[in-house]
Amino acid sequence: MKRRLALMAVMLIVFFGALFGYDYWGRMQTQAFFAHYQPPPVPVSVATAELRTIPRQLRSIGTLEAVRQLTLSPEVAGRVTALHFAAGDRVVAGQPLLQLNDAPERGELARLRAEAKVTSLNLERNRKLLGLAVSQSDIDVQQASLDALNAQIATVQARLDQQQLRAPFAGQLGVRLVDLGQYLRAGDPVASLTDLAELYVNFNLPEQSRAALAVGQTLSFSVDAYPGETFDARVIAIDPQIGADTRSIALQARLENPEQRLMPGMFADARLALAPRTGVLVVPETAVDYTIHGDSVFRVVDGDQLRVERVLVQTGERYDGQVAIVQGLAPGDRVVIAGQLNLQDGVGVVLAPGDTLDAAREKARQARP
């Protein structure tokens, strides 16, 4: 029994010794492998930081407004007796559009004109008899009566004019909001009238941009109705006050709209052109990693093997897929623009063949006529 137990003990010692020895050998082999392991280089696309002259612009969202637009409405109350327009009509300045009931005023005007005619005839006869049977005071009284009648005639004529609605300027009418026979109160809407020949673009910019603003600057804008098209306007006014609630400056630009494709009320993605800036170091926007700890790029470092290093940068203006680098890079530095997910400091890289931004740009240049 003792011999059997001793044999089993020896066998267990040998078994566990072999097991722990194999595990130790495996760990040592793994450490040795990773100590000399070099991961394969990561394929990346790169671009070169270069100095350029970049356009400068301020962006804003504006609204189009017609230079001349209003809602037509009568000055006085009355019943509609005639309509001289249809919805959407184009009208000229002074064209009659609507007539209110003016029968009482026309009757009163006829009576006053008759009285004025009789008074005028009597005045002429008495002037011929001045000094014989008529005194100067009688002439003066009759003249005053005639003047009073003419004033009443002018008053009634003014009321008649108020009862006829005319187009104050040429333009296009909107939807008709009244019907024949309807009673209107003063100020009730009849229809909108818009002159589409000229438009305003109203937009705001932050107060920090005031030094760069001037009347006469060119404003380019686009609207959702015509994707890919750009329209130009010219700044005609800068509000002399800063908005107390928004701390922004209101500006207004003006443009011709001969084809009348643009309409008031459209939103405008506006870009105000400023003087271009020269000698600006730029890289593609895809090269910059934006985080709460700061902006950075992966710069390609030459050596026995290409590798990358993370560099903190200070970014500036952006335009057309490019971003200005204020600090952190130098002209000629190559930065990674694709493949950053698998990168960290010191990792080896290989340039993706035919996939760099420089090659794409060169192809684009050669393709231009």
**What is the H or E stretch that residue 6 is in?**
helix 2-35
Residue 356: per-residue pLDDT: 46
**Tokens 């009285």 -> residue:** 115
Answer for the pair 186, 103: CB distance below 8 angstroms, yes or no.
no
Residue 11: per-residue pLDDT: 81
Residue 369: per-residue pLDDT: 45
96-100: strand order across its sheet = 164-166, 96-100, 78-83, 183-184
Per-residue model confidence as pLDDT tens digits over 134-167: 788 888 888 899 999 999 999 999 999 999 999 9
**Six token digits for residue 141:** 């009284």
Instruction: Please name the amino acid found at residue 356.
Output: T
- Which is more confidently placed, 24 or 369? 24
Answer for the pair 60, 288: CB distance below 8 angstroms, yes or no.
no
Whole-angstrom distance, CA of residue 147 vs CA of residue 44? 96
At residue 347, does pLDDT exceed 80?
Answer: yes
Per-residue model confidence as pLDDT tens digits over 57-96: 889 999 999 999 999 999 999 999 999 999 999 999 999 9
Answer for the pair 324, 317: CB distance below 8 angstroms, yes or no.
yes
Q: In Å, how far are 30, 184, 240, 253 from 250, measured between CA atoms?
A: 69, 37, 9, 10
Residue 4: per-residue pLDDT: 78
Residue 127: per-residue pLDDT: 83
Per-residue model confidence as pLDDT tens digits over 168-186: 999 999 999 999 999 999 9
Beta strands 218-222; 231-242: pairing state = antiparallel
Beta bridge partners of 318: 323
Answer for the pair 43, 153: CB distance below 8 angstroms, yes or no.
no
**Six token digits for residue 122:** 């009597």
Residue 89: per-residue pLDDT: 94
Say if pTM beats, i.e. exceeds, 0.85.
no
**What is the H or E stretch that residue 201 is in?**
strand 191-206
Whole-angstrom distance, CA of residue 50 vs CA of residue 363? 18
At residue 34, does pLDDT exceed 60?
Answer: no
Whole-angstrom distance, CA of residue 199 vs CA of residue 204? 17
Answer for the pair 336, 295: CB distance below 8 angstroms, yes or no.
no
Q: Give 207's DSSP letter.
A: G
Answer for the pair 357, 50: CB distance below 8 angstroms, yes or no.
no
Beta strands 349-351; 42-48: pairing state = parallel
